[in-house]
Amino acid sequence: MEKSAIIQKSLALGFSQCGFARCEPLEELRPFYHDFVTGKRFATLQYLERYAAERIHPELLLPGAKTVIGVTMNYVPANLIPGEDNFVISRYAYGQDYHTIIRSRLEKLVEFMQGGSGEFGARIFVDSGPMLEKAWAQRCGLGWQGKNTLVIHQQNGSFFFVGMILTDLEFEPDPPGKDHCGDCEKCVKACPAGALETPYQLNIPRCISYLTIEKKIEIPDELKEKLNDRIYGCDICQEVCPYNRHPQPHDLQEFLPSAELLKMRKADWLSLTEAEFTRLFTGSPVARVGYQRFMKNINACNGQGGG
């Protein structure tokens, strides 16, 4: 099957980009990842320590793997949840869980490829499994890993999800993405918690997304005042990025905020019941934190303790 047919099908399935890379060890990342793991810089995210060899050698995940196919899917909504008199939820969590949506569409892409190539080996990764997806996104030419550690594209910015297909089919690789951050440090300076004190490296314990999403940690008192009304995730380092000045809204219903979510204001969040939380967030990424932790985040932002 031709690459062009796969690319066209990926666009028809709602993906924004599709790129190809040769499956080979990420040797250039070995020193960094070794220091990352041995220095326990993953905080409580212990899954980042597991399968270290597979993260550098993706061929261990699929014997005979020859190609990594990367896709992106835009999640910029046409209408943001109003910020006035409100708490903030990261844009990626406005709608349904992206893991489910993207995996389903990647499965359809694999089925399409089987129609033209017959049976072949393939594994799908959507922010899951021991696959360094941001590094592979850059190798696939989908952008570069910027100083905020996220994948950035010159035209598409960074408000997109990334998905991967590891396959034993062989395709001509695309040119890898080149770094276009230059001397810009807007994201570094804008992070209120100082999580980007070293460009291109995330200080995980200080990241607002980590602080408001991971259930096993308590938010330190010194960082509660840095939350800036963020109760789930954080987009600050993306919002200030010059490549996100003119984001193009998507038209995927699955990622749009519900009418009820658009109406929520601070008073509504502060009085939120568990039943209301369940109704608002069933099938959403926010559901993973649970009601109790979510209310702790709200109270921490509101100066009532919690964390």
Instruction: Quote the DSSP letter at residue 255.
Output: G
Residue 31 to residue 98: CA distance in whole angstroms: 31
Residues 152, 12 share a domain: yes
Cα angle 37, 42, 44; round to 5:
125
Residue 306: what pLDDT?
Answer: 54
Looking at the fold, whether 22 and 119 belong to one and the same domain comes out as yes
127 is catalytic: yes
Determine which one of 35, 85, 97, 127 is catalytic. Answer: 127
Same domain, 194 and 160: no
Domain count, the chain: 2
Residue 250 lies in a domain: yes
Low-confidence stretches of the chain (pLDDT < 70) are: 304-307
First to last CA, the chain: 52
Q: Give the helix/strand (H/E) hosting 89.
A: strand 88-89
Specify the pLDDT at position 198. Answer: 93
Residue 274 lies in a domain: yes
Q: Is residue 54 part of a domain?
A: yes
Report the C-alpha gap between 207 and 119 in whole angstroms.
43
Pair (138, 192) in one structural domain: no
Domain interval for residue 111: 3-167
208 falls within a domain: yes
Q: Which of 167, 202, 227 is the last residue of a domain?
A: 167
Residue type, 127: D
Cα 25-151-144 angle, rounded to 5 deg: 65
Closest CA to 88 of 219, 223, 232: 232
In this predicted model, what pLDDT tens digit does every residue of 6-43 receive, in sequence order? 999 999 999 999 999 999 999 998 888 888 888 877 77
- Has residue 15 been placed in a domain? yes
What pTM was computed for the model?
Answer: 0.93
- Would you say residue 172 lies in a domain? no
Residues 206 and 158 in one domain: no
DSSP classification of residue 169: S
| β-bridge mates for residue 125, sequence order | 164
The reply to whether 236 and 162 lie within a common domain is: no
Sign of CA dihedral 96, 287, 217, 236: positive
Q: Which two tokens stand for residue 217?
A: 């940690």
Q: Are residues 99 and 191 in the same domain?
A: no
Regarding whether 51 and 20 lie in a shared domain, the answer is yes
**Domain assignment of residue 180, yes or no:** no
**159 and 212 together in one domain:** no
In a domain, 177, yes or no: no
Q: Are residues 140 and 35 in the same domain?
A: yes
Same domain? 60 vs 152:
yes
Structure tokens that stand for 16 in this block: 């924004």
| One domain, residues 156 and 230 | no
Domain end residue (candidates: 99, 132, 167): 167
